[in-house]
């Protein structure tokens, strides 16, 4: 079992002065950003599997307000990670409109999308994707260097973040010599390094034991609340669903939202992708049906 996380909060970033010029994140619509951190309208996505085309998301609508913590649950292959990847501007939908932090992604070019991801979206991956050969500090500083921070300022920020997650004394160590829980703390610090407005986490507790997973999510949740960030988590871990403001079940291309006061049994059922009756449809305009792929 990994050591518990400290009570310290991860502080907001203060970009250094006189940093080299880098492509800025595209301008946002203040009205759209105030109303929604994320808004999807009629979003569809399919993939070719063998000789068939499988429809994963079918004209889904979703709105997530700024500062909300939304957890996406459902069985493997239901489209949770696809949905998260579209929100994170990693995947492009086949159809539909995607607005992220007040930007209409359809109107952005590739460099603007890259700048949006780099400056305003933090990612926490299931396998963490720490870079081999880099120390804990160097891994945390990667997004800062990509954003044009100078070495000294980047190092100060990285040390500040590692101290906040209880790894101040491991800054110069290689993650290969650390526990899985410690590596997840590094990944958390890296995701928050550039002070993004939106944090996306894909199965952040999948490799952690129960206690370490709860403390990791607790730190992430408290930090995002303190800093006013929007958090979206894909998870199979029913033990952490009480940290969410909203729980949305994704199954067969449909989005079904749990009542905030839903019973633990219903939340657990949704996390494990059991019966559809475990989920309560609250918004008909956010519920879609997966029909047979065209041509099949």
How much is the pLDDT for 90? 94
What are the CA-CA distances from residue 231 to residues 66, 67, 110, 138, 192 (Å)? 9, 7, 24, 25, 11
pTM over 0.85? The answer is: no
Helices 136-146 and 151-164 cross at an angle (nearest 10°) of 130
Enter the tokens of residue 42: 């009629």
| Adjacent-strand bridge partners of 39 | 63, 99
Q: CA-to-CA distance for 236 and 238, rounded, in angstroms?
A: 6
C-alpha atoms less than 13 angstroms from C-alpha of 74 in its C-beta half-sphere: 28
Q: What is the topology classification, in CATH, of domain 66-94+109-281?
A: Rossmann fold (3.40.50)
Per-residue pLDDT of the chain (296 residues; tens, 9 = 90+): 454 445 555 556 655 544 444 555 566 655 555 678 999 999 999 998 888 888 999 899 999 999 999 999 998 888 999 999 999 999 999 999 999 999 999 999 999 999 999 899 999 987 778 998 999 999 999 999 888 899 999 999 999 999 988 899 999 999 999 988 889 889 989 999 989 999 999 998 887 888 888 888 888 888 888 888 999 999 988 889 999 999 999 988 889 886 554 444 544 455 555 443 333 332 222 333 222 223 32
pLDDT in tens, 231-284: 999 998 888 999 999 999 998 888 988 655 444 454 445 555 544 333 333 222
């Amino acid at each position: 079992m990994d050591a518990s996380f400290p009570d310290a909060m991860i502080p907001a970033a203060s970009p250094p002065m006189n940093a080299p010029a880098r492509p800025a994140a595209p301008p946002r619509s203040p009205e759209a950003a105030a109303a929604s951190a994320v808004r999807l309208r009629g979003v569809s996505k399919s993939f070719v599997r063998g000789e068939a085309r499988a429809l994963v998301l079918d004209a889904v609508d979703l709105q997530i307000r700024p500062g909300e913590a939304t957890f996406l649950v459902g069985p493997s292959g239901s489209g949770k990670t696809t949905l998260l990847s579209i929100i994170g501007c990693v995947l492009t939908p086949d159809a539909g409109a995607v607005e992220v932090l007040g930007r209409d992604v359809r109107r952005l070019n590739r460099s603007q999308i890259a700048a949006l991801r780099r400056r305003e979206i933090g990612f926490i991956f299931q396998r963490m994707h720490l870079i081999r050969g880099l120390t804990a500090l160097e891994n945390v500083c990667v997004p800062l260097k990509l954003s044009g921070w100078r070495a000294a300022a980047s190092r100060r920020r990285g040390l500040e973040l590692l101290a906040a997650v209880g790894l101040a004394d491991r800054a110069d160590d290689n993650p290969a010599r650390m526990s899985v829980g410690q590596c997840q703390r590094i990944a958390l610090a890296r995701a928050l390094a550039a002070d993004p407005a939106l944090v996306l986490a894909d199965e952040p507790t999948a490799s952690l034991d129960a206690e370490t997973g709860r403390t990791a999510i607790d730190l992430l949740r408290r930090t995002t609340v303190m800093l006013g960030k929007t958090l979206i988590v894909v998870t199979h871990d029913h033990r952490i669903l009480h940290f969410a403001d909203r729980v949305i079940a994704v199954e067969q291309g449909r989005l079904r939202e749990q009542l905030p006061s839903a019973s633990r049994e219903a939340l657990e059922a949704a996390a494990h992708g059991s019966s559809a009756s475990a989920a309560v449809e609250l918004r008909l305009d956010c519920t879609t049906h997966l029909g047979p792929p065209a041509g099949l």
